[in-house]
Amino acid sequence: MVLGGCGPQVASGSASPGPATTSATSAPSAASATAAPAISADPGASHDSSPTFTDAPRLPTTDPESGLPFIDPADLPPEALDTLALIAADGPFPFDRDGLTFQNREELLPDRPSAYYREFTVITPGLPHRGALRIVAGEGGERYYTTDHYESFGRIRLSETVP
């Protein structure tokens, strides 16, 4: 790698590649009067002057109440987003069992009174039946997603504008 401006300077008009000489009384040139940015010879050094966001607050990765991992909506399949929209609109739902009480028999969700949770099917493309994908909705607005028919859950991280 060759970095310009790092080696000896050649005086303008000089045929010699040796170092330039200047007298102690000569005025600084325009090039030396302006500060050049520091360049590191280390190829791994970062020269990005953009601000870093290490001090920005980070969202928790685990729901403090349930202990379940958070799932960002961007990480859900489109069919799960469709189901969330149907829940927010209160239907119509594609299956008769959508909206029925989820009993929480597995006790993986926070303990709540009976009928607190309702279950909704997330359509699995290509399957002729309901499949294993579900969203469980709590009365308090919380939403949980399972890909394995209630064997495990993640809590969907929703903004406060989404019911």
Catalytic residues: 119, 149
For residue 117, give Cα distances in angstroms to 39, 45, 126, 158.
60, 53, 28, 17
Give the Cα separation of 48 and 37 in Å (integer). 12
Which long-range contacts does 81-88 make (Cβ < 8 Å, 24+ apart)?
A: 82/122, 82/123, 83/120, 83/121, 83/122, 83/123, 83/135, 84/135, 84/143, 84/156, 84/158, 84/162, 86/120, 87/120, 87/135, 87/137, 87/143, 87/163, 88/162, 88/163
